[in-house]
Every structure is written in C-alpha cells, then in structure tokens.
Amino acid sequence: MARKEIEMAIEWAAKEGWNPGLHDAECYFAADPNGFLMGLLGEEPIATISAVKYGESFGFLGLYMVKPEYRGKGYGIQIWNAGMRYLEGRSIGLDGVVAQQDNYKKSGFKLAYRNFRYEGVGGGNSPANAEIIMLSAVPFEAIDSYDRPFFPANRSRFTQSWISQPDCHALGIRQNGKLAGYGVIRPCRSGYKIGPLCADSPQLAESLFLALKSRARPSAPVFLDVPEVNQAAVALAERHHMKVRFGTARMYTGGIPDIPLNRLFGITSFEIG
C-alpha cells in the first residue's frame, strides 16, 4: 500500500469495531513503509494485512481483513501467505481474535498470554505530582532507551512518531531524577485509548493513568489494553471501574520474547504491537 491507502485499511478496521486512533495511519507507516499489503480482485481492493518489520529479526502481523462479501473464497489465505513471506526468517507476533486463533496455530503461532480491552470514562483529576512531566521535555534518547525492554526489537521510528502525533498527550514520570514510566493517550473513532502505559511500579503506573485519563473529555470512553498476566494492571483497570469489552491472544512464532510484563500496564497497539 501507498501511504494514502493505509487510510482505507484503518477505515475497514473501524467498521470491524476495532476503534482505531484518528492518526494511526501516519504512525503505522513510520514503522515500516513497505509493511502494508493489499489484495486486489481486478481493480477492487478486497483484502489487507500489515506485516511490519522491526529491526533484523522481528515482525508483527495485523490489520488482517477481507471484505465481508468476499470471505470464505480463499482470498484471505492468499494475503496471509504474502504477509508471512514478507516476514520470512523472523520471529513474528500478532494479537489474535478468538475466531482466528486455531488458524494461527496452524501457521506455527503459539499462545503467550491474553490481552483484555477495558473501557472506562475520561476526566477526573490529575494527581498533584511534580514528577509527572510532558514527555516532550525528555530527550528522545532517554525515552527510546526506556521503551527498549518492552518490545522484542528496535521500534525507534515508530515511537518517535507515536509520542508526537497530533492531538495526543504524552506524559512521563520521574523517580530519583530518571524516567520511570511513560504513557500516551490519543483520540480514537470513539473516545480515547491509553497506550502504551509502562512504569517501574504499580503506583507510578496509576499516577500516569490518572494524569492521562484527566486529559480526556469527561464521560468520554477511555480504553486500556491490558496484558492479563500483569495482575497489577488488571487490578488498576478494575479499581477504576473499567469493564472488559473483548480479549485477544498474543501469539508468537519462535520463542516468547522476554518482555517485563510486570511493568507493562497498557499495550501500544493490537495492530502493530
């Protein structure tokens, strides 16, 4: 896909109920300009997949869709195979919806853990905490270094685009003079999503969560995608009266990456990791 065609895939994702961010396409394109594939029947786009390369050894699949009227005709597997070929030789991750998980297993994917999308409401008061700062006040090298353990490969280009996208709020929190967590809240088709949300302790994560949530319109929906294995993250969502809307399975080919899930309180994106 060309850059403008990624908007089409985002629109399809919205129709599927995935609630993409208003500026996701630009950030996704920054991750890998060649990683978005479209299947055509004649001149008509009927299928999409994202197969984003990170570094030299990792990739992530997402935006895997076929137009409803063309499903069950073998077109999905064709674009799936094209995405897998593009990522050949790499360890690959994805967030699988329940209906597709058995098919992903047939392609060599193994379950790592489940994620749950929680929904709450925006607004509220931001904590009176001088250690919460605008992320723009932090050198990008420090942000990139902090983010590095939370992903299986380098994603610097994506991170730089993500934290500076229009209409978002990106905040950091310091401890002992060093960055000890950061998070982003961005506007979506419906409400807002917080992600990533990572911090060195549950207390720091909660302070960041409340500060980010306070940037959303009062009573607007706010979503947080939580790895189930981080029980402190689950407790944070439930303590603030958020409800589960659906779940995904984080799956990988090859080994499961060594990510500090106890410090990951919110997934960045189900679509590209």
pLDDT digits (tens, 9 = 90+) for 71-103: 999 999 999 999 999 999 999 999 998 778 888
152-203 pLDDT, tens digit per residue, is: 999 999 999 999 999 999 999 999 999 999 999 999 999 999 999 999 999 9
Give the Cβ contact number of residue 75 at 10 Å.
17
> Rounded mean pLDDT of 116-141?
95
Q: Give the E-state strand segments of 43-109 in sequence order.
A: 44-54, 58-66, 91-96
Average pLDDT of the chain?
96
Q: What is the pTM of this model?
A: 0.95
- Percent of the chain past pLDDT 70, that is, above it, reads 100
> Do residues 227 and 108 make contact, with C-beta atoms less than 8 angstroms apart?
no
Give Cα separations from 71 to 44, 68, 105, 123, 171 (angstroms). 14, 5, 20, 41, 42
- Residue-wise pLDDT tens digits, 201-250: 999 999 999 999 999 999 899 999 999 999 999 999 999 999 999 999 99
Evaluate the omega torsion of the peptide bond into residue 196 and state whether it is cis, within 30 degrees of 0: yes
